[in-house]
Chains A and B, each alone.
Chain A
Amino acid sequence: MKPARFDYARASDVADAVRLLGSTDGFNKPLGGGMSLGPMMNLRLAQPDLVVEVRRLDALKTVAEEDGHLAVGAGITHSAIEDGRIPEVTNGMMRFVAGQIAYRAVRNRGTIGGSIAHADPAADWPTALRALGAEVAIDGPDGARIVPLADFQLAAFTVALEPADIVTALRVPRLSPAARWGYYKICRKPGEFADSIGAVVHDPERDFTNVVLGATDGAPLDVAALAEAVKGGGTVEIDDAKAALAAQGAVFDDYGNQIHAVALSRAIKGALAS
């Protein structure tokens, strides 16, 4: 349970991090809070040659309100969001989600950008931020770019980052005051990685409705038929959710079909009740 040997460098700024990550041909990884990468390295599932620490970079800790978005620095911790230490533009959804991530001692060090870059299917931010329609701000050797989260996570632990890219911020759209959200996570025990996550954002004023299923074996799934049902104001029962998943070819084992349908229907009921 000890990591394999690796080299370590601490980046002085974002450009330095990009330079360091591209400085050798090996498997180089940026290190934020390390709350996901650390366990992967201890289990030797990840064996980077070079770890570049970006946790302390001031540029990754900024939070800025921009035209219709809140740009949350990649280095903002889950507990900072949980405690309301950054502006809340999602009518409480981000605070609610942050407070359920793992355990407080993990939330104190783990970061939103790290979670998105790591892209564990069972983690909270990939599903919650996708439901919110967030975008990922990335910096790399070819300059900065912005990618919608829906195009960012390609599969489990697989994202649209080149080897020397780092996530610098998450751009979260501001919800209208009347927007509703629902988030329902099924875990065997609080703080465990989820068996299923249902996330719903319904913002009629912005003509935005999204229903996302997380904790599958791949990237979070948009469930368009259920988004239509939410728009129509109808309730969604477990069997409706099962049918919607089946109709788009999202078929799991019996337990998976049931647990995912339950998470989705409860998330939708939560959103409609809020």
Chain B
Amino acid sequence: MTEISLTINGAPVTASVEPRTSLADFVRDGQRLTGTHLGCEHGVCGACTVEIDGEPMRSCITYAVSCDGAAVTTIEGFDDDAAMEDLRQAFTENHGLQCGYCTPGMLVTARDIVRRLPDADEKRVRLELSGNLCRCTGYVGIVRAILSVLEKRRG
């Protein structure tokens, strides 16, 4: 077991972890933050996407031990985030989710898109979403939701 200290959603956490524990399992099972979902567990589906030190990353193929000292933000940590507030509203209005399994990862990726690529058009949004698989709602509503937030932010 290895001791790690990091912040999760702004709160300091110190814990002892097995090296093979993924960050996703650590936040879900160790911290009871079950908003982070696990789909494929090999970095393809995007359901587990969280923010590590300000950038979206895959928590299923990132080990908790390698996050010692990091600032991790899971979907639960964006309650007061302005971009995420707009995205939540837009996902609701545009039918951007149905079963909700992909939604935490979709939202983390969507937030990255609207902040990093303010001029993104539909083609670019779809390209950026290629790393987040949705298999029930479909992408029409998700893309429309993200485009509406981009539009709003462009004023």
Contact = CB atoms under 8 A, between A and B. Distances in A.
Chain B binds chain A: yes
Contacts of B56: 104-105, 108
Interface in B41-76: 41-43, 46, 49, 52, 55-58, 60-63, 65-66, 68
Interface residues of A, number: 31
A3 B127 CA distance: 30
A1 B56 CA distance: 22
Interface in A1-52: 1-8, 10, 31, 34-35, 38-39, 41-43, 51
Contacts of A141: none
Interface residues of B, number: 32
A34 B63 contact: yes
A103 B55 contact: no
**Majority secondary structure, B binding face:** mixed
A42 B60 contact: yes
A106 interface: yes
Interface string B123-155: 000011011100000000000000000000000
A34 to B, nearest CB: 6
Nearest to B63: A34
B19 A42 contact: no
A104 B61 contact: no
Given A106-B43, A189-B130, A191-B131, A35 B18 contact: no
Given A34-B63, A39-B42, A53-B66, A105 B20 contact: no
**Majority secondary structure, A binding face:** loop
Contacts of B108: 105
A96 to B, nearest CB: 14
A42 B57 contact: no
B89 to A, nearest CB: 23
A39 B61 contact: yes
A109 B20 contact: no
Contacts of A191: 130-131
B58 A104 contact: no
A102 interface: yes
Contact of A79 (B40, B55, B65, B66): B55
Contacts of B46: 103, 105
Contacts of A35: 43, 58, 61
Contacts of A79: 55
Interface of A: 1-8, 10, 31, 34-35, 38-39, 41-43, 51, 53, 55, 79, 102-106, 108-109, 189-191
Interface of B: 2, 18-20, 22, 25, 40-43, 46, 49, 52, 55-58, 60-63, 65-66, 68, 108-109, 112, 127-128, 130-132
Given A53-B65, A105-B109, 17 more contacts: A4-B20, A8-B65, A31-B66, A34-B62, A34-B63, A34-B66, A38-B60, A39-B42, A39-B43, A103-B131, A104-B56, A104-B112, A105-B49, A106-B43, A109-B57, A190-B127, A191-B131
24 contacts: A1-B41, A2-B20, A4-B20, A5-B20, A10-B65, A10-B68, A35-B58, A35-B61, A38-B43, A39-B61, A42-B61, A53-B66, A102-B131, A103-B46, A103-B131, A104-B128, A104-B131, A105-B49, A105-B55, A105-B108, A106-B58, A106-B131, A108-B55, A109-B62
